[in-house]
């Protein structure tokens, strides 16, 4: 009998160890496969849109006086007289090696324009993410600590209000209050991060705030809910019975177990933040991807539109994979809990949906070439993705 | 390392268990230990003060003494214990009375004062040990943490001490157990882990709330033996809450029988078990000796206890009592000293006192005395392995 109880732990540990090593790469592989498929499909869609638009650089550049011979010559120069399939394959091949072609109007390389515009959106999205983590964690933890109290109700109410407001409404509200009324921060303009970080922060703070508030509210709400649930668990009483202080129990024991769902919510919002940055950027008049693609759309500058769309899709997908990898790195704790039959494998599935919906939002924004429709499509697709997962 | 672990293996523990029982039945030298816990007139209300679930409970636990608390679910035994640990469920509160832990008043303590007491001066083990451990941390870390925080040990010291403690509670290969997560250990091992954590900072009082209920019979006996050994080695005051009188008979010196929020009988376990003075105790004993208590609970004692907070006049057990008379239902029944049989009278008043809450205790004594319980007899042999405890 004593021998039995002695072998019990090793006997049980072995299969779980096996499962751990065997299962670990699968979710990431699935995420990569999904991302690859989505990228290919959206590149096809992007290229198809350009082809369907019937926009012709020769007509646009040469004006009304062009003879058919001139147009044919220019078409040949741009490679537009080849079959569409050949054009697509060569475009995608070049795109994957970093060559997105040249603008029909400025003849500047598209990749160069994108290279200058993208950091604007990425840095805003990054700052918004930081904002969401800090504010969300603070709100969630303090509300759970004050469970049922006045502060808890205040946070919950604020989260509900903020959660229903689209980013552009928050952005306009922030401009009206913080820059126009109080005059604390500029309502628009841009200084690159590499040039002057302090000035960058001044210009990026409001857009990031507008963008991250929604994610912060979601994180706070999720963290509060799981903390409150987790605080009722017996092991909290158990830890308290060891004489550990309430703060130590919260931060050392409860938070790590309750953080999973909040991190998943945060991970889901990363692609949305990048998509949303494009919208926010317009309102604050920043020289980012949205400005580039909007200008291109008005000029029927197809290579630029295609390039910006493809790059944005790529960035969102890369962010999605990074989120998946991050959640996976945090997963050992979740897997241990699932061994107890509690948590599932929701993390990877959830962010799959978010990735696709985020892309849908970005594509919608680009096609509609207006901030409003993009936000709508992204928002609803995101909600659908979350619901489906 | 292995030979030394063999010595602390359950085989040895079995012997120490029987030693504990003999000692318990023969009676610990009365008055040997200082009172560690004295509870006086404790009242606990539930539902934010609307109903009283524990009424006027008084008892004492001395150093090195094991006191059993028995009663059905809802009898107030768990609430009483939780109030002593400062972990009453929401809506429950101590409304009157006092509980002193070696001079420290426990009622009305603030959060920080509780934090200072727990672990170091009082500790607890509960039913369902798996749920009282953090699933995401190794059990070793959960034992080392209080050692570091409360006793100020260094990382390596705490770890060595933790492994040592795991060995002392009869866990095999303690150095390996240290790195296990709770879900990798069996229920009996987890209860040993919880006991190791509970005694880590050398508390004066250990509350074991249904600590062995969910374990199978063999493991239950091992854990009880372990508790008995720790109590002797560390002069630990042990409050053992259970609804199983067989468990109480096995390891405790004195027993408190709870019914509907009151103590209906208390006294030295050996005497109470041999000659119950309250019809409810007698009924409990009949259940225990009839075999598996879990299955026969309500079929043997007909009726059910009054609703929590209901205050029927007179004896609260009257409706289920075979001996109840009209006067039982009209007047409040006090807890009175029992006139003791000549064979029992050796003990001095302080420790050997027997009290019963029954108007007819004296005249019923012969009728109730034929119930016997043999802790290792039928009750043990016949018992199934209860996987789940009825609520």
Note whether A244 contacts B173, CB cutoff 8 Å. Answer: no
Does any domain span residue A1?
no
Note whether A241 contacts B133, CB cutoff 8 Å. Answer: no
Does any domain span residue A167?
yes
Q: Which of B107, B167, B119, B375 is nearest to B252 (CA)?
A: B375
Does any domain span residue A6?
no
Report whether pLDDT(B13) > 50.
no
Chain B closest CA to A350's CA: distance in Å? 22
Chain B closest CA to A141's CA: distance in Å? 19
- How many Cα atoms within 13 Å fall on the side-chain side of residue B276? 23
Note whether A13 contacts B184, CB cutoff 8 Å. Answer: yes
Of B128, B181, B189, the CB nearest to A336: B181
Searching chain A, which residue's CA lies closest to the CA of residue B147? A242
Q: Which of A39, A91, A90, A67 is nearest to A317 (CA)?
A: A39
Measured between beta carbons, which residues in chain B are less than 8 angstroms from residue A255? none
Does any domain span residue A153?
yes
Measured between beta carbons, which residues in chain A are less than 8 angstroms from residue B176? 9-10
Classify strands B35-46 and B51-62 as parallel, antiparallel or unpaired: antiparallel
| Residues in CB range of A3: below 8 A, 6 or more apart | none
ipTM value, please give it: 0.73
* Length of chain A, in residues: 389
Searching chain A, which residue's CA lies closest to the CA of residue B118? A243
- How many Cα atoms within 13 Å fall on the side-chain side of residue B6? 3
Report whether pLDDT(B347) > 80.
no
CATH number at residue A360: 1.10.3720.10
Give the pLDDT band (50/70/90) at residue B230. Answer: confident
Domain count, chain A: 1
Residue range of the domain that includes A360: 27-388
Does any domain span residue A20?
no
Q: Which of A311, A245, A386 is nearest to A95 (CA)?
A: A311
- Residue B18 gets the label, from left (phi > 0), alpha (psi -120 to 50) or beta, of alpha
Residue range A249-269: average pLDDT? 85
B188 close to A13: Cβ distance less than 8 angstroms: no
Domains of chain B, first to last: 2-121+203-382 (3.40.50.300)
Does any domain span residue A3?
no
Does any domain span residue A11?
no
- Tell me if chain A has a CB within 8 Å of the CB of B247: no
* Length of chain B, in residues: 391
Which of A74-83, A163-172, A247-256, B255-264 shows the lowest mean pLDDT across its residues? A74-83
For residues A35 and B362, the model is more confident at A35
| Residues in CB range of A139: below 8 A, 6 or more apart | A155, A158, A159, A216, A217, A219, A220, A223, A224
- Tell me if chain A has a CB within 8 Å of the CB of B296: no
Report whether pLDDT(B20) > 70.
no
Contact pairs from chain A to chain B, CB under 8 Å = 110
Label residue A329 exposed, middle or buried (CB < 10 Å: 0-12, 13-18, 19+): exposed
Of A9, A233, A234, the CB nearest to B185: A9
Give residue-wise pLDDT tens across range B31-59.
456 788 888 888 888 888 778 888 888 88
Give the pLDDT band (50/70/90) at residue B2. Answer: very low
Of B11, B119, B180, the CB nearest to A241: B119
Buried b (16+ CB within 10 A) or exposed e, A316-326: bbebbbebbeb
Distance CA B269, CA B276 (A): 10
Of B118, B186, B188, the CB nearest to A242: B118
What is the percentage of chain B residues whose pLDDT exceeds 90? 4
- Its sign, for the CA torsion B289, B291, B295, B296, is negative
> CA separation (Å) from B54 to B78, B81, B117, B152?
10, 11, 23, 38
- Tell me if chain A has a CB within 8 Å of the CB of B63: no
Of A5, A241, A246, the CB nearest to B189: A5
What is the model's pTM?
A: 0.70
Note whether A241 contacts B136, CB cutoff 8 Å. Answer: no
Distance CA A338, CA B287 (A): 40
Searching chain B, which residue's CA lies closest to the CA of residue A14? B184
Report whether pLDDT(A358) > 70.
no
Distance CA A136, CA A307 (A): 35
Note whether A242 contacts B11, CB cutoff 8 Å. Answer: no
Collapsing DSSP states into helix, strand and coil, what is residue B46?
strand
Distance CA B174, CA B153 (A): 19
Give residue-wise pLDDT tens across range B101-126.
888 888 888 888 888 888 888 999 98
B327 close to B7: Cβ distance less than 8 angstroms: no
- Tell me if chain A has a CB within 8 Å of the CB of B124: yes
Measured between beta carbons, which residues in chain B are less than 8 angstroms from residue A257? 134-136
Residue range A62-67: average pLDDT? 72
Searching chain B, which residue's CA lies closest to the CA of residue A258? B136
């Amino acid at each position: 009998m004593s021998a039995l109880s002695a072998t019990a732990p090793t006997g049980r540990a072995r299969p779980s160890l096996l499962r751990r090593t065997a299962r670990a790469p699968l979710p990431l592989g699935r995420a990569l496969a999904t991302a690859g498929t989505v990228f290919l499909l959206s590149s096809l869609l992007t290229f198809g849109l350009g082809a369907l638009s019937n926009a012709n650089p020769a007509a646009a550049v040469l004006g009304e006086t062009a003879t058919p011979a001139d147009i044919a010559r220019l078409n040949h120069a741009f490679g537009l007289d080849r079959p569409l399939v050949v054009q697509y394959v060569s475009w995608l091949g070049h795109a994957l090696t970093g060559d997105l072609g040249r603008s029909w109007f400025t003849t500047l390389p598209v990749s160069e324009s994108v290279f200058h515009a993208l950091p604007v959106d990425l840095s805003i999205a990054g700052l918004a993410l930081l904002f969401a983590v800090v504010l969300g964690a603070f709100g969630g933890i303090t509300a759970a600590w004050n469970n049922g109290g006045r502060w808890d109700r205040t946070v919950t109410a604020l989260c509900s209000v903020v959660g229903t407001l689209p980013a552009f409404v928050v952005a306009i509200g922030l401009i009206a209050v913080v820059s126009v009324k109080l005059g604390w921060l500029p309502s628009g303009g841009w200084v690159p991060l590499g040039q002057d970080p302090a000035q960058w922060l001044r210009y990026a703070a409001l857009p990031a705030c507008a963008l991250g508030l929604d994610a912060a509210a979601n994180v706070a709400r999720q963290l509060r809910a799981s903390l409150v649930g987790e605080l009722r668990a017996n092991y909290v009483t158990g830890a308290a019975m060891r004489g550990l202080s309430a703060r130590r129990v919260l931060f050392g024991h409860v938070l790590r177990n309750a953080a999973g769902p909040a991190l998943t919510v945060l991970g889901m919002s990363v692609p949305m933040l990048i998509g949303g940055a494009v919208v926010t950027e317009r309102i604050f008049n920043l020289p980012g991807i949205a400005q580039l693609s909007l200008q291109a759309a008005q000029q029927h500058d197809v290579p630029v539109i295609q390039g910006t769309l493809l790059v944005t899709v790529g960035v969102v997908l890369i962010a999605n994979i990074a989120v998946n990898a991050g959640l996976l790195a945090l997963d050992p704790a979740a897997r241990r809990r699932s061994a107890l039959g509690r948590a599932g494998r929701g993390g990877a599935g959830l962010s799959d949906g978010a990735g696709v919906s985020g892309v849908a939002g970005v594509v919608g924004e680009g096609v509609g070439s207006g901030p409003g429709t993009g936000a709508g499509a992204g928002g609803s697709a995101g909600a659908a993705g979350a619901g489906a997962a | 390392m292995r030979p030394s672990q063999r010595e602390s293996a359950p085989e040895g523990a079995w012997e120490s268990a029987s030693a504990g029982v003999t000692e318990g039945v023969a009676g610990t030298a009365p008055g040997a230990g200082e009172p560690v816990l004295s509870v006086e007139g404790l009242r606990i209300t539930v539902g934010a003060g609307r109903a009283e679930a524990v009424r006027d409970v008084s008892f004492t636990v001395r150093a090195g003494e094991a006191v059993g608390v028995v009663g059905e679910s809802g009898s107030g035994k768990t609430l009483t214990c939780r109030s002593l640990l400062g972990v009453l469920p929401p809506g429950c509160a101590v409304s009157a009375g006092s509980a002193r832990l070696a001079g420290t008043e426990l009622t009305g303590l603030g959060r920080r004062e509780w934090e200072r007491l727990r672990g170091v001066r009082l500790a607890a083990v509960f039913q369902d040990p798996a749920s009282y451990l953090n699933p995401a941390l190794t059990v070793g870390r959960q034992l080392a943490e209080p050692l570091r925080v409360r006793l100020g040990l260094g990382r390596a010291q705490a770890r060595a001490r933790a492994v040592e403690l795991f060995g002392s509670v009869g866990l095999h290969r303690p150095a390996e157990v240290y790195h296990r997560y709770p879900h990798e250990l069996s229920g009996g091992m987890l209860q040993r882990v919880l006991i190791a954590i509970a005694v880590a900072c050398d508390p004066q009082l250990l509350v074991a709330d249904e600590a062995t209920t969910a374990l199978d019979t063999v493991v239950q006996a091992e854990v009880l033996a372990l508790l008995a050994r720790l109590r002797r080695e560390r002069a630990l005051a042990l409050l053992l809450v259970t609804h199983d009188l067989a468990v109480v008979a096995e390891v405790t010196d004195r027993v408190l029988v709870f019914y509907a929020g009151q103590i209906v009988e208390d006294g030295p376990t050996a005497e109470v078990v041999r000659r119950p003075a309250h019809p409810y105790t007698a009924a409990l004993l009949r259940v225990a000796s009839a075999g598996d208590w879990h299955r026969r609970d309500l079929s043997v004692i007909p009726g059910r206890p009054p609703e929590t907070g209901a205050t029927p006049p007179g004896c609260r057990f009257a409706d289920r009592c075979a001996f109840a008379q009209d006067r039982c239902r009209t007047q409040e029944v006090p807890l009175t000293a029992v006139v003791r049989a000549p064979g029992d009278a050796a003990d001095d008043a302080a420790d050997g006192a027997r009290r019963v809450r029954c108007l007819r205790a004296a005249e019923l004594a012969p009728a109730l005395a034929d119930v016997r319980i043999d802790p290792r007899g039928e009750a043990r042999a016949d018992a199934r392995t209860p996987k789940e405890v009825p609520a």
